[in-house]
Amino acid sequence: MCDDRDIKIAGSQPSNTDRNKLETSYATEEFNREKQKGNIEKARRLGVLVAEHLSAQGRSILFDIIGEDKRDYITQCHQLVTFAVSVSFGRFCSSSVVSKTAYNSFSDTLKRIAPEMYTSSKDMGAWSFYFLAYRRAGDVERRIGQTFAMLCSHDGDPVFQEIGEALYCRVMSLVENLVNEIGFN
């Protein structure tokens, strides 16, 4: 007689492989839709423009906000700026595919034209703190500023909080304006 105790019955849920195929298929379709509308090329251009703006004018923007006496905190500024770019693409771009394309273009351009900024901005530990501040309900700008101050070892210092808040707001405004100028479909 056969022993059926070792036979497993497949569940009604799709397997991880099937789920991954569906997600890949959906992402490909979304990419193709956005490409047909011209948004992928616009996203690439957006990423380049933001990187060029922040690398060329970024130094003057950073030093206008942080002041010459706080140059030691430039790495923290780079981390906050690139975090704000990522978040702003997610907020202002027409889809996640467009947002990811813009960020990849930004990152590639930054790596090429401002390698020191690119390298110093890749601390995922800092990004984790910023994401926690970003995802908490209410007053995101203030929370980002507080997080910046904490990461600069000036927790509770209103000057550093204002610097972080100003950097975040300046980048968000820059990206929003560029997205509106480019005009995604």
pLDDT in tens, 112-154: 998 988 998 887 889 999 999 999 878 999 999 999 999 999 9
Q: Which of 99, 65, 111 is nearest to 179 (CA)?
A: 99
Question: What letter represents residue 52's amino acid?
Answer: E
Mean of per-residue pLDDT scores for the chain? 86
Read off the pTM.
Answer: 0.82
Distance, C-alpha 45 to centroid of its chain: 16
Contacts of 78 (CB under 8 A, 6+ apart): 117, 120, 121
Contacts of 102 (CB under 8 A, 6+ apart): 43, 44, 46, 47, 50, 89, 93
- CB distance 14 to 70 below 8 Å: no
Count of C-beta atoms within a 10 Å radius of residue 35: 15
